[in-house]
Amino acid sequence: MSESEPMPATSALPQSDPLGLFDRWMAEARASEPNDSNAMALATATPDGRPSVRMVLLKGHGPDGFTFYTNANSRKGEQIRANAHAALLFHWKSLRRQIRIEGPLSQVADDVADEYFHSRARASQLGAVASDQSRPLDDRATFVERYRAAEERFEGDEVERPGYWTGFTLSPERIEFWLNRENRLHDRRLFTRDPGGDGWRSTLLYP
């Protein structure tokens, strides 16, 4: 678009229903992203505000929030237990879109964690048993030995979910959508949850 051509003067982002918009964008990302359309950056922080970020996979979402699974003894697990607030970021390069989500975290029930754990590939279950996530590892061979030991331990039986392996759900208080537009006149819309938790307020933001 040249500078002399008219520019769209209206936002392409709807003013309501952020969870519905997330569903639509996620569905489109599944169709366009080459892999892991459900990958998201998870940012946590220590109680004194030192941040840490890593990529995890979204494994469930709905009105209650956005759920991922992890080793609760890992660095992120320790930070979550000490400061149960986090931020998520989805970035879909193929669509030139991103979504930022912020809110408190709560641990999923044991039966929910059990159900998801046993839906995973058996090798992934055994890997979770063998991994002392985020702890120093003297040699990769040690990890392989622990994996083989887990294979032997559960041979012919269901793999028992370790008590430290669980899920967390982020309940969204803020959801921001970013959409690429021409001439860097991008669209940004922020949704903030009403104090009562029954609805959303919406405003555009300067890009």
Residues labelled catalytic: 184
C-beta of residue 67 within 8 angstroms of C-beta of residue 167: yes
Cα-based distances in Å from 46 to 73, 78, 86, 166, 172: 14, 9, 11, 20, 20
Cβ-defined contacts of 111-119 (< 8 Å, 24+): 112/167, 113/69, 113/161, 113/165, 113/166, 113/167, 114/161, 116/59, 116/60, 116/69, 116/167, 117/69, 117/159, 117/161, 117/165, 118/158, 118/159, 118/161
Q: Which two tokens stand for residue 153?
A: 């331990």
